[in-house]
Structure 1
Amino acid sequence: MTTSHTPSTRSLLRSRGARALMAAGLLALLGGAAQADAQTAAPQRGGTLTAIVQPEPVALSAAINFALPNSVLAGNIFDGLVDYDLDLNPKPSLAERWEVAPDGLSITFFLRKGVTWHDGHPFTAADVKWTLENVWKTIHPRNQAIFGRVTQVDTPDDHTVILRLSEPSLAILSAVNANGAQVLPKHLYEGTDIVNNPHNLKPVGTGAFVFKEWVRGDHIILERNPNYWDAGKPYLDRIVFKVIPDATARAAALEKGDVQYAVFSPVPLRDAERLGKLPNLKIETRGYEWLSPWMFLDLNLDNPYLKDVRVRRAIAHAIDRKAIATIVWFGFAKPAISPVPSTLAAFHDATVPQYDFDPKKAEALLDEAGFKRGADGVRFALHEDFLPYGDDYKRTGEYIKQALKRVGIEVTIRSQDTAAYLKRIYGDRDFDINGVWLAAFSDPQVGVTRAYSSEWIGKGTPWTNGSGYRNPTLDALIARAKVQANQQDRIATFKEFQQIVQTDLPSIPLAELRFFTVHAASLKDVVTTADQVYGSLKNAWFDKSPTN
């Protein structure tokens, strides 16, 4: 038995000090950058914003497929019923106001008048009712749980929507923005194959920007909506989203000014500090609050090795989560101990079973499970897949490969494009371990339970229960939390939920991620909402003064 490091691991660890210093300096830089820009001048109209979307979307509707690149685009094309301010409070958008009945059994949305779809058709309550009944409750994986207690949707007039609930559902108001519950135009989708409707690729929305063109592999163009309900907005004439697969090329494009906006940590983390110090660029960490992202290692419980909980716990003990946060992610992460991130302070349970970095304990558990080292030092072999969203996830996968090799588990890393990845993990379930992140959002019912509820197994729906975990007790807890009218009761239920999943360990929390945006210093009012990265750039504008 040995815990010695491979050469690549030693070099990784030697860089710990340098990267820790870099991370400290960068986070200090971000602390200053995260302050809102004080605006003394009125927004200036005009200009084309060139942005990056990576990887290329597979659709432009987040109602059908809410993968990251799809959502970044869709938030500019579609509005939600609400937006969220930087304190995660809902604020008006397509709904001017809303009322929750005292007994919690109805929620009424009063819709904005005079809103039209991009094709000129009026936006009405019928669109909301149809989308809830035909998309949110039937296709959308998060929303099937959130809106499952809606028994009836009343539309007494074109601008009033009343949700009737069999039991209270406190999570609904946390999920009705443009990403959480995107409204589709009934007149273009009713009676069609919703998933394969051509408007998923050529969307018609209500948002500040209108879809114009998609040249595969190169760019997507959105143009200013001249009939937008929010008078005077957007300020930009158009947004051109460029597909730039190479991270170094993305950094160069931002540095040269060819690109002025890129989200979700678009450049190599080692380049972030340098770029943030340039006078023409800024690094911004606001606008991700609604997501509360957490990264984890999903374990396929159908695998003959991984179905043994001792093996799963051994893998957890073999991984140094602090090293992942500080070295692999350059300080843009925090070690995770639970699938409910610490950013959801009310729900997070810090007393869950924890698996400290302890390779000796990992080896002992593997021996106990009967998987001894062979003559070559290998106990068994696994395939590892990783989210194909950039080098950071690949680098995380390489670190995990090294960590497991130290305890006798041989790992082969596989990479593929997004479509193949989603099919492999959530369709065919042809994987052993998978590195992925999900958004917990502002309520565990919205973003966390989908990774553990057995109702999603076998459906092939992305970003749900990839491990194949089945636990009737946990399913009952999830069902209970959906209908509890008292928030303190829900908090207690979700803490019990965390205790169970961290004991059974179908997935291993690795890190709470801290994404950042890189944008031109001349681009103002980039962040106005807590869900900005999935929202609209209708407030953004270019300061054309000589200093910019």
Structure 2
Amino acid sequence: MKSFNARHALARCALAAASLLAYAAPSVHAAETPQYGGILTAILSPEPPTLNVAVQQVAGTQLVAGKIFESLLTYSFDLKPQPSLAKSWEVSPDQLTYTFHLQPKVQWHDGKPFSADDVVFTYTKILANTPRTRTLMANVQEVSALDPQTVVFKLKQPYSAFLYALDIGGGAILPKHLYDVDTPLAQNPNNNAPVGTGPFKFKHWERGSYVELVKNEHYWKEGRPYLDGITYRVIPDSASRRVALEQGTVLQAWLQDIEPVDVPRVAKLPTIKQVYKGYEYWSTMYWIELNGGREPFSDKRFRQALMYGINRQFIVDKIMFGSGTVATGPIHHNTRFYDANVKPYPYDPKKAVALLDEMGLKPDAKGVRATVGLIPLPYGEMQRRMAEYIKQNLAKIGVMVTLENTDVGGWTSRVGNWDFDMGANGVFQYGDPAIGVSRTYLGSNIKKGLMFSNTSQYNNPKVDELFNAAAAAPSDEARQKLYSEVQRILVEDVPVLWLADTNYSTLLNKRVHNAVTTALGVVDSQSETWLSKE
């Protein structure tokens, strides 16, 4: 295995060369000539609470915001950093200084010039307080602008995942002239009428119906975008979403837009193509958040009993219909540094009951040992069925579950503010455990009111030590050793109930070309996407 320095040097050479190339359409459609014009219609389900990804990082927000805002980098299918707002970059030999050279002649959608000051402001004043990027910024000593086209990040210590952390989800750059104001970030009126630098401009949001984006005629990437616009249609009903895709009234569906039970049939339709690429960076994992600040969740034996009491293989086979794999622990099997050599939790109600007995949780006259609430993930029929099935499973071991349904805003508010017993969640892993995994378990990331942080309030100094050491370790070999150890500890402690690693695909009408060109899939800018004639 190459050392970090050697590997990083090779990567820098390759990336420097790549950054000098023109932005050509991917070769998969090289034989076809891209056509200008047309509106891409896509499903948006559920409707997000905001369009500012710095405020809210739910999937729907990222999907729309990825066309409006941009970040310094994007990522290839093999998770190599690629240019976005940064056209090129250098890393100092001691890996403590990252210098980014910005694309020239970029402007905000309102016509104001984009500059390094926007990047510095965004990272120091906005992103430093978000659940993902605050962990990154804890390793940053200073962010400065050398000149209007050059930004420098100086780190306190080496952070091996740094170049993996600059995507649209955790690194969307906001306009300083609109956000450097006295209004609190969450109340800024631009959150729901956003101004970015991306290939598409916000036009209108008809709540409950659609979000309309139009072509940015002054986009910095010459000749892009091809589309005249993108319209995201809010379609709450799963059957209606499927019919819309089948009939061609929408041309794009991702994640759980189409229920897993329907995907195999829909994918075989002559008008539809199924694309599996575009989820490499996300590697979504489903789990159940447990409020460790409440009894009986504060007892490790109760958490282990819940793991033994849920038939996760049934969930994967009969509810997810093959769109997932039983999770073994905190790291998705497609994410770097995954290790399957951890304590297993097969479906074993007898072992679950034995643990509850050991705790002294005896059944009452109705067989109930404990009563808890569960907030289902508000993302479609599959999630509701999953919650119902978990309720049935846990009733068999004497744990009575009350389902507490809410919308996306209510879900993020309650879980983020620790107002829950159990909360279903689907979390992106973002290519590297230092970015998408550690945030869930670090004691330093326990912050009430902040969704997608350590909302279970798990606190283990040894786990913190291992995560921090792995983030700074100089080689992949050293990082693997540390991450393997932290996986074994977490799987023993069970701070959350890991259910399934997802294996999603995107369903597209065959008129849609180049919708998926990076590891970010349809969340990325889609500046290369074009439509053939009907």
Q: TM-score, normalised by structure 1?
A: 0.90
The match for 2:269 among 264, 274, 278 is: 278
Letter aligned with residue 385 of structure 2 = R
Letter aligned with residue 112 of structure 1 = Q
| Alpha-carbon displacement from aligned partner over 1:455-484 (angstroms, at most 9, x marks no partner) | 333421111112121222222223333333
User: Distance between the aligned counterparts of 1:37 and 1:389, measured in 2?
Assistant: 32
Q: 5+ residue gaps in structure 1? A: 1-34
Does the CA-based 8 Å contact 2:287-2:425 persist in structure 1?
yes
Per the alignment, residue 19 of structure 1 pairs with: none
CA deviation after TM superposition for structure 1 residue 180, in Å: 2.4
Indicate yes or no: 2:116 matched with 1:125: yes
Indicate yes or no: 2:290 matched with 1:299: yes
User: Distance between the aligned counterparts of 1:154 and 1:82, measured in 2?
Assistant: 18
Letter aligned with residue 69 of structure 2 = F
User: Distance between the aligned counterparts of 1:439 and 1:457, measured in 2?
Assistant: 18
User: Distance between the aligned counterparts of 1:311 and 1:115, measured in 2?
Assistant: 54
Aligned length: 508
CA deviation after TM superposition for structure 1 residue 46, in Å: 0.5
User: Distance between the aligned counterparts of 2:92 and 2:480, measured in 1?
Assistant: 22
User: Distance between the aligned counterparts of 1:299 and 1:230, measured in 2?
Assistant: 45
| Alpha-carbon displacement from aligned partner over 1:292-350 (angstroms, at most 9, x marks no partner) | 11111221123322222111111111112211111110000000011111112x41121
Per the alignment, residue 449 of structure 2 pairs with: 460
| Alpha-carbon displacement from aligned partner over 1:440-468 (angstroms, at most 9, x marks no partner) | 12111111111112233342111111212
CA deviation after TM superposition for structure 1 residue 194, in Å: 2.4
Indicate yes or no: 2:385 matched with 1:395: yes
Per the alignment, residue 509 of structure 1 pairs with: 498
Letter aligned with residue 99 of structure 1 = E
Indicate yes or no: 2:345 matched with 1:355: yes
The match for 2:321 among 330, 337, 348 is: 330
Distance of aligned partners of 1:36 and 1:499 in 2 relative to their CA distance in 1, 3 Å threshold: farther
User: Distance between the aligned counterparts of 2:389 and 2:322, measured in 1?
Assistant: 15
CA deviation after TM superposition for structure 1 residue 237, in Å: 0.4
Letter aligned with residue 92 of structure 1 = P
Moved more, 123-132 or 187-196: 187-196
Letter aligned with residue 67 of structure 1 = V
User: Distance between the aligned counterparts of 1:249 and 1:541, measured in 2?
Assistant: 25
Indicate yes or no: 2:365 matched with 1:375: yes
User: Distance between the aligned counterparts of 1:266 and 1:522, measured in 2?
Assistant: 19
CA deviation after TM superposition for structure 1 residue 491, in Å: 2.3
Does the CA-based 8 Å contact 1:220-1:242 persist in structure 2?
yes
| Alpha-carbon displacement from aligned partner over 1:182-217 (angstroms, at most 9, x marks no partner) | 111111111332232111111110100000111111
CA deviation after TM superposition for structure 1 residue 37, in Å: 5.2
User: Distance between the aligned counterparts of 2:185 and 2:409, measured in 1?
Assistant: 19
Does the CA-based 8 Å contact 1:146-1:482 persist in structure 2?
no
Letter aligned with residue 72 of structure 2 = L
The match for 1:309 among 300, 303, 306 is: 300
Per the alignment, residue 31 of structure 2 pairs with: 40
Q: How does 1:208-247 map to 2 (within 5 A)?
A: 208-247=199-238
| Alpha-carbon displacement from aligned partner over 1:7-41 (angstroms, at most 9, x marks no partner) | xxxxxxxxxxxxxxxxxxxxxxxxxxxx9954422
User: Distance between the aligned counterparts of 2:500 and 2:273, measured in 1?
Assistant: 25
Query: Equivalent pairs: percent with the same residue?
Result: 39
CA deviation after TM superposition for structure 1 residue 229, in Å: 1.1
Does the CA-based 8 Å contact 2:261-2:321 persist in structure 1?
yes
Does the CA-based 8 Å contact 1:337-1:354 persist in structure 2?
yes
Letter aligned with residue 416 of structure 1 = T
The match for 1:404 among 386, 391, 394 is: 394
The match for 1:79 among 70, 85, 88 is: 70
User: Distance between the aligned counterparts of 1:252 and 1:485, measured in 2?
Assistant: 51
Per the alignment, residue 7 of structure 1 pairs with: none
Does the CA-based 8 Å contact 2:448-2:455 persist in structure 1?
no
Q: TM-score, normalised by structure 2?
A: 0.92
Does the CA-based 8 Å contact 2:277-2:516 persist in structure 1?
yes
Q: RMSD value over aligned CA atoms?
A: 1.6
The match for 2:434 among 427, 437, 445 is: 445
Letter aligned with residue 478 of structure 1 = F
| Alpha-carbon displacement from aligned partner over 1:27-83 (angstroms, at most 9, x marks no partner) | xxxxxxxx9954422101101111111111211121221111110000000122111
Per the alignment, residue 480 of structure 2 pairs with: 491
User: Distance between the aligned counterparts of 2:474 and 2:29, measured in 1?
Assistant: 41
User: In structure 2, the residue corresponding to 1:180 is in which secondary structure?
Assistant: helix
Does the CA-based 8 Å contact 2:135-2:445 persist in structure 1?
no
Does the CA-based 8 Å contact 1:154-1:163 persist in structure 2?
yes
Letter aligned with residue 483 of structure 1 = A
Does the CA-based 8 Å contact 1:265-1:516 persist in structure 2?
no
Letter aligned with residue 240 of structure 1 = T
Per the alignment, residue 188 of structure 1 pairs with: 178
The match for 2:532 among 514, 518, 543 is: 543
Per the alignment, residue 172 of structure 1 pairs with: 162
The match for 2:245 among 254, 264, 272 is: 254
The match for 1:529 among 499, 509, 518 is: 518
Does the CA-based 8 Å contact 1:265-1:518 persist in structure 2?
no
User: In structure 1, the residue corresponding to 2:196 is in which secondary structure?
Assistant: coil
Letter aligned with residue 395 of structure 1 = R
Does the CA-based 8 Å contact 2:324-2:500 persist in structure 1?
yes
User: Distance between the aligned counterparts of 1:478 and 1:85, measured in 2?
Assistant: 25
Does the CA-based 8 Å contact 1:288-1:533 persist in structure 2?
no
User: In structure 2, the residue corresponding to 1:131 is in which secondary structure?
Assistant: helix
User: Distance between the aligned counterparts of 1:452 and 1:236, measured in 2?
Assistant: 41
Letter aligned with residue 263 of structure 1 = W
User: Distance between the aligned counterparts of 1:51 and 1:349, measured in 2?
Assistant: 36
Does the CA-based 8 Å contact 1:426-1:466 persist in structure 2?
yes
The match for 1:66 among 57, 82, 85 is: 57
CA deviation after TM superposition for structure 1 residue 283, in Å: 2.2
The match for 1:152 among 134, 142, 167 is: 142
Indicate yes or no: 2:334 matched with 1:343: yes
User: Distance between the aligned counterparts of 1:481 and 1:131, measured in 2?
Assistant: 27
Does the CA-based 8 Å contact 2:29-2:514 persist in structure 1?
no
Find runs of 4+ consecutive structure 1 residues off by over 4 angstroms.
Answer: 35-39
Per the alignment, residue 14 of structure 1 pairs with: none
User: In structure 1, the residue corresponding to 2:170 is in which secondary structure?
Assistant: coil
